Amino acid sequence: MSDFYPQLGKTGMSRRELLGKIRKRVKAARFQHMLAVEETSGELAEQYGADVSVAKLAGLLHDYAKELSKDEFMTLIDRYHLDRDLKNWSNAIWHGEIGWLKVKEDFPGIQPEILEAIACHTVGRAQMSLLDKIVYVADYIEPGRDFPGVDEARDLAKQSLDQAVAFETAQTVAYLAKQRFPIYPETLATYNAYVKFLRES
Ligand code: GDP
Ligand code: FE
Ligand code: FE
């Protein structure tokens, strides 16, 4: 494995430094999950013809902001003049939709495509790049995941990334509705844009 991620830009940070920085921010179990998403993102990138090193770095960093406090997210919303409605949501939404700004602050010069993939890794987008889809799906199917439907998601990811995005989003929407949780508008937009891939399959 290369010791450097050129995508970290001018910082020239080594992998060792990078992992050290991540480890300080998240608990051990989450750190392992992030390493697993790095690996799975790399595999999907190879399979679907994306840049493997970019995909791995996006996968590795995707949950970087998962353990920020509510106060830290509120400060970021104010600092970057984000939509105030965001304040009505929770960490589940914030760590992607706002978390990418923390990644940008801590890793200046990182590729914007990586920040975008981090931003949408939880809720998706109606239009997603190949990299966005890879991280979105890898987060769901990495080997440590164990929940109903994960094996079907893994099988679909081998055939079609769009079908895997659609399946994952449909599962999430159904789960959230069953739990009587609010569904973030972007999650529904992703569902509406991708559900056709399931209807056609
Ligand atoms: P993780 O960060 O690796 O645990 O995975 P994700 O970033 O994909 O998801 C974090 C949490 O967000 C999960 O518990 C999802 O059920 C939840 N989530 C995803 N979409 C929505 C949504 O639209 N609304 C709400 N309330 N929660 C959501
Ligand atoms: Fe996440
Ligand atoms: Fe994750």
Could you read off the pLDDT of 103-157 as tens digits, one per residue?
A: 999 999 899 999 999 999 999 999 999 999 999 999 999 999 999 999 999 999 9
CA-closest residue to ligand 1 atom 17: 92
pLDDT band at 14 (very low <50, low <70, confident <90, very high): confident
Size of the chain, expressed as the number of residues it contains = 201
Predicted local distance difference test score (pLDDT) of residue 1: 46
Quote the ligand 1 centre to 172 CA distance (angstroms).
8
Element spanning 3, H or E: none
- Say what the alpha-carbon torsion angle 119, 187, 26, 19 is, to the nearest 10 degrees: -40
Instruction: State the virtual CA torsion across 11, 107, 27, 29 in degrees, nearest 10.
Output: -80
**What residues line ligand 1, using a CB cutoff of 6 Å?**
33, 63, 66, 92, 96, 121-123, 139, 172, 176, 181-184, 187
- Residues by chain with Cβ below 5 Å of ion ligand 2: 63
- pLDDT band of residue 201 (cuts 50, 70, 90) is low
The CB-based long-range contact list for 7-12 (8 Å cut-off, 24+ gap) reads 7/53, 7/54, 7/57, 7/110, 7/111, 7/114, 8/57, 8/107, 8/109, 8/110, 9/107, 9/108, 9/109, 9/110, 9/111, 10/108, 10/109, 11/107, 11/108, 11/109
Q: How confident is the model at residue 161 (pLDDT cuts 50, 70, 90)?
A: very high
**Ligand 1 atom showing the smallest separation from residue 96 Cα:** 7
Q: Whose CA is nearest to atom 4 of ligand 1?
A: 92
Whole-structure pTM value: 0.96
Question: Per-residue pLDDT tens for 48-91?
Answer: 999 999 999 999 999 999 999 999 999 999 999 999 999 999 99
For residue 70, how many C-alpha atoms fall within 13 Å in the half-sphere facing its CB? 4
Ligand 2 centroid, distance to 43 Cα (angstroms)? 19
Least confident piece of the model among 3-12, 38-47, 50-59 = 3-12
Better pLDDT: 6 or 175: 175
